[in-house]
Every structure is written in structure tokens, then in C-alpha cells.
Amino acid sequence: EAICVSIDARDGRVATDGWEKATDLDAVEFAHRMAESGVARVMVTDIGRDSTLTGPNFELLGRLVDQLAIPVVASGGVAAVSDLVRLAEIGCEGAIVGKALYEGTFSLPEALTAVRSRPC
């Protein structure tokens, strides 16, 4: 339970070196390899959406949740409480929220209330 692997992805591919270097490695394939290696969870950042307030990459995150036997934490693009609700609905364990809180798009109490009221 001590290791969470962070996967930075652009257009479905793993990115490295501070997001500067694109690889040919498919993010979902890499997540599978990490799960098979015994990590506790993965955190996936869609770097094309990070700090943009354009919404998470629900398609990628949904595929990961459906295909992995370990929890998925979403990162990148959360713009509204409704994004957090949808992430919970598709099965994400949690979400990284930054800019939406800094910008005052919603408050932390609003976010916590919305996700706590969701049935498991």
C-alpha cells in the first residue's frame, strides 16, 4: 500500500522529463504493468488538461477504472463539482484538485459534500 505510481499522459501516451518528452508507451498498457507489479494504485494526469479547467479525460480514466484491479486517482482538468461527481460515478478512487480551488470555481466544502453524498 506504500506505492502509488504517477502516470503523466499526453494523447494516451506516457510523457516524461517534466512532460517534455513523449514516449510510444501507451498509458493504459503501462498502468497494467504497474498493477501487475504490485503497486497499490495509480494516479493519472492528463497533461493536456492539467490546470486548464476543461474537465478531466473521462474516456481515459473510465478505461483505466474498467481494466485495472487497483484504484485510480484522477488528475488534470477538474473544473466543477460535477466533474468530481462524475469521476466518482465512473469509479475513480479520488481526484487531485488544484486550480479550481485556487481560482474559486468551487469550495472545498462544496466538493466534499458532493462526493460524500454519492453512494458507493
Domain 4-116 CATH class label: alpha beta
pTM over 0.95: no
- Of all residues in the chain, the percent with pLDDT exceeding 70 is 96
114, with CB counted inside 10 A (0-12, 13-18, 19+), is middle
What's the pLDDT score for residue 118?
61
Domain ranges of the chain: 4-116
Residue 100 has pLDDT above 50, yes or no: yes
State whether the Cα torsion 108-113-115-120 is positive or negative.
positive
112: left (phi over 0), alpha (psi -120 to 50) or beta: alpha
Q: What's the grid cell of residue 77?
A: 482538468
Closest to 73 (Cα-Cα) out of 81, 60, 82: 60
